[in-house]
Amino acid sequence: MKRWTLRILMLMFLLNPLASRSEESCKSFLLGETPISYAALDALRAAQGSFDIEVLSKFIEGKPRAVILAGESHVKREKASLAGTRLNAQFPFRGLEGADISKNGIAGILFLPVLAAIEVVARKILRLKGSSIDDAWVYSGKEIAKNEMAIKIASQLKEERGVASLRLSAAEEQELLAGLKEIELETGENGRSIVVKGEEVLPLIRLHLADPAPAPESGQVLNLPLEEGHQPGVRENLAMVEFPLTMGLIGSDLALSFISSHGFPGLTESSHTLSMATTLISVYSLTQYAFQKKHSEKRWFHFVFPLHRGLLEGRNETMVSNIEKGLIENPDYDQMLVFIGQAHVKGMKRLLIERFGFREARIP
């Protein structure tokens, strides 16, 4: 009798973890009182090591809505890039940072070589991955292309057979799949090419064949350009040229030092003055970049580095206003994933709480 009792207890012990996991997989998770799938939650947890993640929520017209701020480094290692890709796949409603530097006039022209240099060094020399913001546009373009392809094929099949809805047999699906070829399309703002495969399109074809209602024009993925309508101010333009002018000053110092040491002793005094000014300005800029992550929202930081706030403040205000507007205009989406640079996270979080009544939410 004791032996059977022991066996039953051991069996209960072994089955208990399985029951717990089964219970958890069936449980509905909430992110800021909005329902979230386990796959999306898992992607969000995995991204916490690579992105600065902040979750905020509030009720809009009686419905809970959540905003996920994902602060990124615009160039990143492969692990962080893959985490961003997973987020893109799980959150179809996204708000994306994207400054139009053509609006910055001369400041924008001066800043373009800096962006080009960063791109070359990061991508070609250091072999780093690009921004998840760019990836979001590419992913969105691919989803829309797949859906439009499925709509076209499903419409043709229903028209040929004169039916409002249709279900293909397994043999017919295999024949259809064999006829689908890979197509390459240009998509997104940066004109990257994508490949859409037949096996990716087949589930969408099934959906549109079974749906008697008119098929939608595009996919369900929605990207919002958060800096749309932004007008740069004077302080923002000054902040934008700070870095290229500092680099220009360092270059001039090096050139003058070289010239004065090769037969132009009259330039020695000017070279020393320029070197001192260059050193002071370089130390000032490096100190700003070193302290900005932890102290950018503190008063002393704003006082000592006023241009840093100028580069972020106006853009933050535009982006949070567009987040609020985007949530109101798109009530079918429970969550908005917001890809922004890490320097924007603290300021945008504060504005969303103070100006629009959001509150902090916990990742379950």
The ranges assigned to domains in the chain are 29-130+315-360, 135-221, 234-308
More confident residue, 290 or 315: 315
Q: What is the pLDDT of residue 275?
A: 75
More confident residue, 279 or 84: 84
Spatial contact of 102 and 231, defined as CB atoms under 8 Å apart: no
User: Residue 348 and residue 345: Cα distance in Å, rounded?
Assistant: 5
Q: What is the pLDDT of residue 253?
A: 62
Q: What percent of the chain has pLDDT over 70?
A: 79
Tokens 């985490």, residue located? 83
Q: Judging by DSSP bridges, how do beta strands 192-196 and 183-187 pair with one another?
A: antiparallel
Give 70-118 as a DSSP string: EEE-SSB-HHHHHHHHHHHHH--EEEE----GGGGTHHHHHHHHHHHHH
Going from the C-alpha of 72 to that of each of 132, 134, 163, 192, the distances in angstroms are 8, 12, 49, 21
Q: What sign for the dihedral angle of Cα 286, 133, 88, 30?
A: positive
Spatial contact of 362 and 58, defined as CB atoms under 8 Å apart: no
> Which residue type, as a one-letter code, is found at position 35?
P
| Interior angle at CA 360, CA 40 and CA 87, nearest 5 | 20
Helices first, then strands: H and E counts in the chain:
12, 10
The answer, yes or no, to whether residue 24 has pLDDT greater than 70, is: no
Helix 234-260 crosses helix 106-119 at what angle (to 10 degrees)? 60
The answer, yes or no, to whether residue 193 has pLDDT greater than 80, is: no
Tokens 């040229």, residue located? 241
Strand-pairing partners, residue 70, are 53, 339
Predicted confidence (pLDDT) per residue in 124-182, tens digit: 788 888 889 988 888 877 777 787 788 888 888 888 888 888 888 888 888 888 877 76
Predicted confidence (pLDDT) per residue in 256-269, tens digit: 676 666 666 556 66
Read off the pTM. 0.74
User: Residue 136 and residue 338: Cα distance in Å, rounded?
Assistant: 10
More confident residue, 275 or 192: 275
- Structural tokens at position 340: 């922004």
- Structural tokens at position 264: 């132009």
- Structural tokens at position 326: 């985007």
Q: What is the pLDDT of residue 361?
A: 94
pLDDT class of 10 with cuts at 50, 70, 90: low
Q: Spell out where the chain has E strands.
A: 29-31, 34-36, 52-60, 63-72, 93-96, 183-187, 192-196, 222-225, 335-341, 359-360
Which own/partner contact pairs does 9-13 have at CB distance under 8 Å and 24+ positions apart? none
Q: What is the pLDDT of residue 21?
A: 40
Give 288-314 as a DSSP string: HHHHHHHHTTSHHHHHH-HHHHHHHHH
pLDDT class of 200 with cuts at 50, 70, 90: confident
Q: What is the pLDDT of residue 60?
A: 95
